Amino acid sequence: MISICIPTMDRPQKLFEAVCSILLQGEDNLELVLKDNGTIPCTEDPRVEKVLELFPGRVDYRRDEPLSLFRSANDCLARARGDLFYFMGDDDMLSPGALRAVRERFEVERFREPFWLHGLTVSADDSGKALGIDGSLTSYGQMLEHNRIGGPSVFWSRGIAAISGNFDTRYRYAADYDLWLRMWRIREPAFLDQPLGIYRHHPGQTSVSRRDELEREARAISSRHRYLADAIGAARAVQMSRKAYGGDFPPER
């Protein structure tokens, strides 16, 4: 089962459109896990209420203390029951056929846990009109330069989440970038050369209103992971040298 985790806050029209894009996937083996941080419950909007009714027994809804974005995402992940996770902003949408393609690839990889994948991300305006397509096959080294993976195109398994953990809430704006790098050290992701998610640009978005803070945080994450990569590489070199030469290495002075 695919668990689609959606934090939401006072954007009923966008949430309605996001959930409609899930409904149009034609997939039954999924659940919606919502964390409502709004001043008014999203379920009081008739559009949202009606579309959620089309997922009988498959909606886990919680509305209590408002949480930040990534704390909300972790709250959803903690309640998720599926084998495969997807973090979806209430202003994002799924591309047609995305869940079928992901499910088919996941079935192939099921016995090679842990596993995660990413694909292409459609950039769209506030109305959903496509502006372009982003994403490509990339490497860990390129990811250390900057985040090359669109959040709406990432799916990951419960198995890799058990090793990597969830979003690090010390980061307010780029915790997804940190999680992708942590999962990459466990296993390189598969890449699907097709659109999986739609990222809609609109006024008030954090990536616009907090752009400087986001970029500063991303640089700190990159530096941290570069240091970890160097430390792991040095430890492996010492281990290999000990195997090759035996005894204590490096030698005592």
Residue (of 52, 35, 31) closest to 43 by Cα position: 52
Element (H, E) at 67: none
CA distance 231 to 227: 6
pTM: 0.88
Residue 250 in domain: no
Into how many domains does the chain fold? Answer: 1
Burial of residue 176, with CB atoms counted within 10 A of its CB: 0-12 exposed, 13-18 middle, 19 or more buried: buried
Residue 78 in domain: yes
pLDDT value of residue 114: 87
What residue numbers bound the domain in which 160 lies? 2-203
Residue 170 in domain: yes
Neighbours of 41 (CB within 10 A): 14
Residue 184 in domain: yes
Instruction: List the CATH number of the domain containing 13.
Output: 3.90.550.10
Residue 233 in domain: no
Per-residue pLDDT of the chain (253 residues; tens, 9 = 90+): 999 999 999 999 999 999 999 999 999 999 999 999 999 999 999 999 999 999 999 999 999 999 999 999 999 999 999 999 999 999 999 999 999 999 999 988 876 678 999 999 999 988 777 889 999 999 999 999 999 999 999 999 999 999 999 999 999 999 999 999 999 999 999 999 999 999 998 776 666 667 788 899 999 999 999 987 666 555 454 454 455 555 554 555 4
pLDDT value of residue 227: 81
Residue 237 in domain: no
